[in-house]
Amino acid sequence: MIRQDADLVPPPVANLERRVLDSQNGSVLKSAPSMVSATVIAAYAMHIYFSPGLPAGRSLFDWMWVIGSVSAGRMLTLYLWRRDAAREAHAVGWSRVILVLSALTGLSWSLLATWMLPTEESHFRPAIAALMMGISAAVVVSHVDHYRAYATYLACMLVPAIVHFAGQESASTRTLAPMLIFFLILLLVGGRRSARANERSIRLQMELEAAVAAEEGARRVAEEANLAKNQFLMNMSHELRTPMHAVLAYAQLGIEKGEEERLRRYFERIQTSARGLLVLLGDLLDLAKLESGRMDFQFRPIDPRRLIEATIAEFSPESQNRGIHLAADLVPEQVWFALDEARFMQVLRNLVSNALKFSPAGSTITLQLSGDAAGGFALCVADEGIGIPEDELERVFDKFVQSSKTRTGAGGTGLGLAICREIVEAHGGRIRALCRTGGGTEICIAMPRPVSVSKAA
């Protein structure tokens, strides 16, 4: 059964709406400490400024008690909201609480104009109007992300004051009403635009986070699948190698002990096929180890010229049988590089074997070793064979991928060049394929700076 990772499941629309609403709730509630501090300072300033001009028997202490109670409720709500581990799921409920607190706070400020200073003789009404406009500007900063709370706050604060000012006999006081109406409209229209922009920004941020989380989940699932595949390949390679060795042993015994020529030919075919399968199992095991980082490399200073000469000597009998000339073009200097001899020889064998496999009789395969400007070396294996199409030069290094020119022939499994790339990259180098002018392929390996350089004696 295929496991469905939770990170790969896109969040439902309802969940996204709750996350957006929770973010809006948090924007309002997190501003409570600064807004409450400003409210306390403003309330104390109102007391000092307005108390001397109040009618006898009237005091602002009652209003200060009301505004203080509402402010305490805001701080308590912030405390409870922060302690709610499931506040995102409760976003709608918290939003309603915020609406109630916004209404109470707005009504608390409107008391200054409608109840605490109700007389026509009061000279403080313009100052009260200016104060409300200043508080409205502060509400833009603290509440605009949550537009319903923002509009509720402004409406509960300014509408009672507008109605009260409009009902006064003094013309100067009545002029405050249209001024506040115009100011309220400006705040609501501007706040709506700002709230929509903020909501879009929040949604985009959350969608981006969801996309990143989905990508991370997909990457993790792919890594787990790749790890499971590599483990399977290693296990199967180990399990199959033992019976294959037994098949080879019995085939060799049949060749040696067989009395009929026909039976010996059968055993030779069995042996050839078993050896080919054993090579394939070895390639699978090597690739799985390389991809999982379990391949052990033994780096030590080695002169790559010696490895090239050994490779040519090893393949000379086969090349002579095929009528193909193996040539070496090596630098005259002795250069020591940090290489794993066994693994680098595996790369050379693979490249030369491929070149022999697809080169015609009478052609030449050249192994060239040269230095580069960075102090490293470039090793190229060039043949005059069928070549690789230009659009496939990179893909032939992928696992189980063969050139379109070799699929119908003895093209192998498509693992050889993939293993070569893994080994070369483990050495800190890079490998690439090039099309030769006039036909053929050139596989080049670029290796990093050598361990040391000394002139040959």
- Cα of 346 vs its chain's centroid, Å: 35
Domain check: are 155 and 76 in the same one?
yes
The predicted pLDDT at position 1 comes to: 38
Total domain count for the chain? 3
The pTM is what? 0.49
Confidence of residue 234 (pLDDT cuts 50, 70, 90): low
On whether residue 1 sits in a domain, the answer given is: no
- Interior CA angle at 53 toward 47 and 58, to 5°? 70
Domain check: are 86 and 32 in the same one?
yes
Strand segments (E) across 346-455: 364-371, 377-382, 430-435, 441-447, 452-454
Residue-range definition of the domain harbouring residue 389: 300-454
Domain check: are 265 and 396 in the same one?
no
The predicted pLDDT at position 443 comes to: 93
The predicted pLDDT at position 14 comes to: 62
On whether residue 411 sits in a domain, the answer given is: yes
Domain check: are 383 and 247 in the same one?
no
Domain check: are 61 and 105 in the same one?
yes
378 pairs with which residues across the strands? 370, 446
Domain check: are 67 and 176 in the same one?
yes
pLDDT tens digits along 377-395? 889 999 998 888 888 889 8
142 backbone φψ class: left, alpha, beta (φ>0; ψ -120 to 50): alpha
Closest CA relative to residue 442, chosen from 360, 378, 399, 372: 378
On whether residue 226 sits in a domain, the answer given is: no
Domain check: are 101 and 196 in the same one?
yes
- Choose the final residue of a domain: 249, 276, 292: 292
At residue 454, does pLDDT exceed 50? no
- Interior CA angle at 411 toward 428 and 392, to 5°? 60
On whether residue 221 sits in a domain, the answer given is: no
On whether residue 33 sits in a domain, the answer given is: yes
DSSP SS3 for 149: helix
On whether residue 327 sits in a domain, the answer given is: yes
CATH of the domain at 369: 3.30.565.10
Burial class (CB in 10 A: 0-12, 13-18, 19+), 153: buried
Domain check: are 277 and 311 in the same one?
no
d(CA 9, CA 214): 7
Q: Beta 325-329 vs 300-302: how paired, if at all?
A: unpaired
pLDDT tens digits along 98-146? 999 999 998 988 887 777 665 555 566 677 777 778 888 788 888 888 8
Domain check: are 282 and 332 in the same one?
no
Q: How many helices (H) and strands (E) does the chain have?
A: 12, 8
- Choose the final residue of a domain: 216, 244, 262: 216
pLDDT tens digits along 335-371? 788 898 988 998 999 899 889 988 999 999 999 998 7
Q: Are 189 and 197 in contact (CB under 8 A)?
A: no
Domain check: are 265 and 331 in the same one?
no
d(CA 59, CA 302): 96
Domain check: are 53 and 123 in the same one?
yes
On whether residue 229 sits in a domain, the answer given is: no
Confidence of residue 6 (pLDDT cuts 50, 70, 90): very low
Query: Residue 163: CA atoms inside 13 Å, Cβ hemisphere, count?
Result: 9
Q: What is the average pLDDT across 221-240?
A: 72
pLDDT tens digits along 27-86? 889 888 988 888 888 888 877 877 776 666 667 788 888 888 999 999 999 999 999 988
Say which amino acid occupies 140: V
Domain check: are 88 and 185 in the same one?
yes
Q: How many other C-beta atoms lie within 10 A of the C-beta of residue 205? A: 12
- Choose the final residue of a domain: 242, 270, 292: 292
On whether residue 388 sits in a domain, the answer given is: yes
The secondary structure element, H or E, covering residue 423 is helix 416-426
Sheet containing strand 452-454, edge to edge, reads 300-302, 334-339, 452-454
